[in-house]
Structure 1
């Protein structure tokens, strides 16, 4: 055992401090419980099981959502990956990590959550619909990531611990090493430190091709102090640096695969500092206060061009949740405010190049849920004050966004729900790199044929609707089993998306205009059944992205994309106290509609984790992604038949030892 531990520690330390040749991210088992999340209002919320990420040895954000049907990640190469929720691009979501808003795209596609380390995840919420407390700019919904605390990893009788991991992925010949240490500080405090290194090469697709420009190097550093339930007070303070370095395509990195395309050395870095404070006294139900203060900086450095694109975001949210009764009605009321400011710029040869891009949002919101008998009603509104720079011109305004929902308990475990909500934003879908090239006095809505031709620039607005049926029951098919199921119809109209004129191939951006409406609509079904040792989840999503005439549209950068119907069927079985086994089926239907013609595919994944009785602190994990080495491209990847292919068979191995 000592030799095994020494080898594991040596591999981890080597990975963390070497700068060797190229590899990509592994997942370690932190043995957290599966997450199943419902939102604070009746209509909103679904969760991504963290347990499933651990079984698959998730390495990147793409892996986090690979086995979901409502969220897809296209692009293939790390630098070109884009997230889509129900067909809507992630640029139109409010995405936060521990409450820190992730910034706009830096250049074409770089930005958002590409640097997130799945090893740190405790909870993932995908918030469908709109709530006033979802934050600004949630045109297509919201995704919230929450990281672990030291207390989540410590056993009840343990004061100090650590986990060392080492692993390997075959598709890109990547080596992984990570070390996580955690300790108690007094009775309620905890401190966690995490370092991780990944070196990966170019991955191979299902037909054996080595995909040019997909290798790289990842480094993650994370520290978090947490004081929980200290006389009703809780404090979390974290600092994080994530860095991805590699040779990637620059301007057209998400287009058709080209093995001869020139590569440029690029570094994508995220530095985040987050403070979360909570006060929740048990004997004062009207007082449950939370404060979130953060700084989130994104940097994209092109070493070959000696340029740096920077997003500096800072924000504050203060909210209070009250629970009380009025007559027979039970109320949950949230009041709060949030402020977010992002400053974007491009630095060339050490000096600022072009325009600054400043965006500011100030919001006041109220959200309430009220229950009586079989009925639960929700409603709210937020007032947004926005300011956005477009060249030397500033666009400002005030907008009110309402929402309302209802859920009715039908009895026998059945309920039905419906909801409507609006959201606004003023910053558009333009990357910071293009904002910097804007002329001083750009034209607004000068595009003939567009609905707002000749009018002033309007803020973007979405109108989201949901309608569905839900079932929750126990002892349905077997004794002590549990079944949760739902079917949901959704429609999201997004009006006035702000896009630019010009900016292609190094040309300046000469104007901005409100584009015509796009609509994401469809339905999805989810069912989860579990017994003592076995659980299975079946999900199915049909989503269409259409224009004002109702015709499907092709992939539009930073706006949305179409896919065929998508089904996922996941199984997890605890075969014994020492062995867990899993299997996942992904079936993506082909898409043929007008000019759209995209191939479908079927993937099979298997997973296993072994806990040797002779070494109870050791976990050996195996995951085989794309078991039958299928050659395929995600349908949201730009490029049609020549789109960048995804990885072929990927044999992932991980050894984890807890001290």
Structure 2
């Protein structure tokens, strides 16, 4: 396999130098306080999502579906772990800016599998801003941004200087699964902490709601990370390295069953490595609050046929980038401004087509941005927000398919909103935003098949939202209505000529939708019920499962959540319920509707010792053993007249034990 690695030693040396500089500065500070360089909202705005470590722990999640499926505006389909894709308001995560400790996760490796690798055990917070939004969301955030922050040693330690955490879980479904987690952490000094965590998970083929074994869905996950961080009176810094390796045997199209004899079982591997340095310098004067991120990330995949060992497809993305921003805060104004830059490389090969069209591709791309976002408290009841970012994109095909073809594009992404605090308890918000995404590297696999001819227009997403939020004495009601269109959407288009096809601007995607949530917080728990719906279309026709990379149609979804803590017994109880209404399937005139389904999950945890060192947990997911195809899963295929995606997992009972030393 051809490699396009950056000089890792140089990167490591550079990060180490900056990290040691921050360490030295932190040690010089006499007053030690712990600051958080990331804003974590106590209550998310209407249409957005904020999750903390406790919420994630309650979910007892092992994959993306278990992490996100019960959240408003989100859907996760695919069945097996490797195939899971996240949909935000019906649009696929290929248009969502995702960062992990500030490191951008770019591109798509292969359209028949999931794009993102996230390990729930490592995560401290998740913040989602749905829809094109603030200038600080990053370049090309057509459908919003998701920011994931990893835990550090101080998150795990109390007054102790060192500690450890071990966890084991076993899932009873189909041919069963298990997971082992080990973590060690400590304070090197009063202000410097180190954590190292490893997670190993294996699962055999699962059973669906009818009790039938769904194959091939087995997986093997080996994942770990190390994070060194320091805190001081004016500075925070962290240096983190994360590595994930996911393997399994699937069909060449991992999100589909073996519906065609031409698709054989293949050994599949997917990896990600991310190295990130974050630094915050806050002088405390409202003028200098400088936040810097430097990162390197690499992701790759490969499929080799079991029958011959021959390559079906492989691809690799590699990115090096930085983001530097400053926050200025006065009595009634907050201004954030900065610059960001990213350099991407891709290397891919596909032998999936007839040999005439086999190909390779090597590409490089850059994106440079400059941005500003301002929040102004104009009056006691009116807050105005406005922002603007400028981005410049360059892309070139260096070798292989379309060698020599290049694109350059630049554009602006403005936004503005107004919030009216009508009463102490009630606020209204209206906003408009545009996101610009220039021509860059899209998908590794298709890049070795479809040709760039240099004639593409950049994509532009316009988003209009109206929302309200009311909260009084623990009771809350939040809602959002929105409309968005994505112009000049770029996709691979089959031509059937001398070349397989071209990258083209193929049309306009649109979505109209709403979200509503009503709930109550209690001293020892909460309860809420919500509903969301997104009507997605492409060129005035409803989205279908065939719109890979863009999105699909999902039925109106109702979510219910409840949690209660029995303090006398140190028992935490939780319930999640989701009802998805049936949805018309426009993939073919005679296609059956996507059926409705109702899924209930129950959770419980018990800490039997006073210091909560030991925790015993249990969950029953899909309590009523519902058989269904998640609407985010590739389901019915018109050509073969049957379902070719994976049905969802049936009832699973999981038992977990963890101990914190």
TM-score tier (shorter): 0.7 to 0.9
Q: CA deviation at 1:526?
A: 1.9
Worse overlay, 561-570 or 607-616 = 607-616
Worse overlay, 83-92 or 169-178 = 169-178
Alignment of 1:17-416 (within 5 A): 36-37=41-42, 45-110=48-113, 112-113=115-116, 115-129=117-131, 130-155=133-158, 157-171=159-173, 172-228=175-231, 230-250=232-252, 252-255=253-256, 258=259, 262-282=264-284, 284-303=285-304, 304-306=309-311, 308-325=314-331, 330-346=332-348, 354-371=360-377, 372-389=379-396, 391=402, 392-416=404-428
Residue matched to 2:476 = 484
Equivalent residues of 2:350, 2:449 under 8 A apart: no
Equivalent residues of 2:109, 2:316 under 8 A apart: yes
Alignment of 1:541-552 (within 5 A): 541-549=532-540, 551-552=541-542
User: Quick check: 1:618 aligned with 2:614?
Assistant: yes
Residue matched to 2:509 = 518
Equivalent of 2:632, from 624, 629, 636? Answer: 636
How far apart in 2 are the matches of 1:598 and 1:335? 45
Equivalent residues of 1:79, 1:248 under 8 A apart: no
Q: CA deviation at 1:412?
A: 3.8
Query: Which secondary structure does the structure 2 equivalent of 1:52 belong to?
Result: helix
Q: CA deviation at 1:567?
A: 0.9
Deviations 1:227-277 (A, max 9, x none): 02x131111100111010100121x33346649762111110101100000
How far apart in 2 are the matches of 1:507 and 1:609? 61
How far apart in 2 are the matches of 1:253 and 1:302? 10
How far apart in 2 are the matches of 1:300 and 1:503? 27
Unaligned runs of 5+ in 1: 1-33, 445-455, 475-481
Equivalent residues of 1:50, 1:121 under 8 A apart: yes
Query: Which secondary structure does the structure 2 equivalent of 1:79 belong to?
Result: helix
Query: Which secondary structure does the structure 2 equivalent of 1:365 belong to?
Result: strand
Q: CA deviation at 1:644?
A: 1.4
Deviations 1:197-229 (A, max 9, x none): 11110111111111111101100111000102x
Q: CA deviation at 1:515?
A: 1.4
How far apart in 1 are the matches of 2:47 and 2:627? 36
Query: Which secondary structure does the structure 1 equivalent of 2:577 belong to?
Result: strand
Equivalent of 1:499, from 491, 502, 505? Answer: 491
Equivalent residues of 1:429, 1:498 under 8 A apart: no
Worse overlay, 485-494 or 100-109 = 100-109
Query: Which secondary structure does the structure 2 equivalent of 1:525 belong to?
Result: strand
TM-score (norm 1): 0.85
Residue matched to 2:564 = 573
Q: CA deviation at 1:528?
A: 3.3
Task: Give the CA RMSD over aligned residues.
Answer: 2.4
Residue matched to 1:627 = 623
Q: How many residues align?
A: 591
How far apart in 2 are the matches of 1:132 and 1:656? 41
Query: Which secondary structure does the structure 2 equivalent of 1:500 belong to?
Result: strand
CA pair 507-224 structure 1, distance change in 2 beyond 3 A: farther
TM-score (norm 2): 0.85
Equivalent residues of 2:47, 2:515 under 8 A apart: no
